[in-house]
Amino acid sequence: MEYQRVLAGDQRRIGRGIIAIILLVGGMFGMTLGAVQIAFRLDAALGLSGYTASIQVAAMLPIALLIPWSMFLQRWLYGVRAASLTSVLNVFRTAVFGKAMLVVVPLWTINLVISNLVMDNATTTWSTASLASIFLVTLLLTPLQAAGEEYGYRGLVFRIAASWAKGPRTALLIGILVSSVVFAVVHFSTDPWVNLYYVVFASTLAVITWRSGGLEIGIVIHAVNNTLGFLILLVLHADFTAANDRSNGVGSAIMLLPCTLHIALTAWVWWQTRSSGPVRTRVQRT
């Protein structure tokens, strides 16, 4: 069975799937709201203002917790072992991860450097302590935050939506569509260019997950994108609040560069699996 079809059964269980998606997204926002309130109170007690390491932790940690939360929801609502959410082999495949790193890191570094040189990032004054603390938080938590989104959206949501149809092709299309729309919606952007990027980002990573039989390559792409993106903003002394603005008018045609890169990487994965097809597994329940 292909990765996204592991939750498929004799019944479509659409209602259960919708409840699972609501619990996934609601849990993420609930944890984020609580973490942000703690960060604000901590910064107020310390006399800190602006974008701080506490706010960065509050933005990253709750999303990283989607890893165990997604696994729990899959086990609780579908009776499928948590480990299967990682890959068709029920383990994190380090060889797949390492090969992806060799390809993704140089390509994404070039992409982000060009994008940030073209974009007019607002700058602000950073203290050495703020730069150092946010640098440390970024290195420690941003890869986990990116992995959390992969487990949540290319993992659980992709599988849930793909279980709503009996035909494998229809199931795949529904899985890609639903997981991509949910991913774009939870980012609350009103800019068409930014939303285009989110949809391309999500749909290509869903295709990669399907073809590779797991989340490892998507985690590499997502983690490298987010981590390097934050680090470059730190080097430029950019205003993180302005950089995270997703309102109408902030996007531009420069977003087509990462979109093209996503499509090219997806084509590369497809080419690598052209002989074997999508990696498959048996359904394993406990």
What would the pLDDT profile of 219-268 be if each residue is shown by its tens digit?
999 999 999 999 999 999 998 888 889 999 999 999 999 999 999 999 99
Residue 241: its pLDDT value, please? 86
H-run or E-run covering 169:
helix 168-185
Question: Which single residue is written with the structure tokens 């499509």?
Answer: 263
Give the separation between CA 248 and CA 173, rounded to whole angstroms: 29
Question: Which single residue is written with the structure tokens 């940690």?
Answer: 61
Give the separation between CA 123 and CA 88, rounded to whole angstroms: 44
- In one-letter notation, the amino acid at residue 195 is N
Whether 207 has a pLDDT exceeding 80, the answer reads: yes
Q: How confident is the model at residue 146 (pLDDT cuts 50, 70, 90)?
A: very high
Residue 286: its pLDDT value, please? 44
- Reading phi first (left if > 0) and then psi (alpha if -120 to 50, else beta), residue 8 is in beta
Q: Are 38 and 58 in contact (CB under 8 A)?
A: yes
Say how many C-beta atoms besides its own lie within 10 A of residue 219's C-beta: 27
Whether 217 has a pLDDT exceeding 90, the answer reads: yes
Q: Are 257 and 92 in contact (CB under 8 A)?
A: no
- In one-letter notation, the amino acid at residue 31 is M
Q: How confident is the model at residue 282 (pLDDT cuts 50, 70, 90)?
A: low
Q: Are 57 and 39 in contact (CB under 8 A)?
A: yes
Determine what percent of the chain is predicted with pLDDT higher than 70: 98
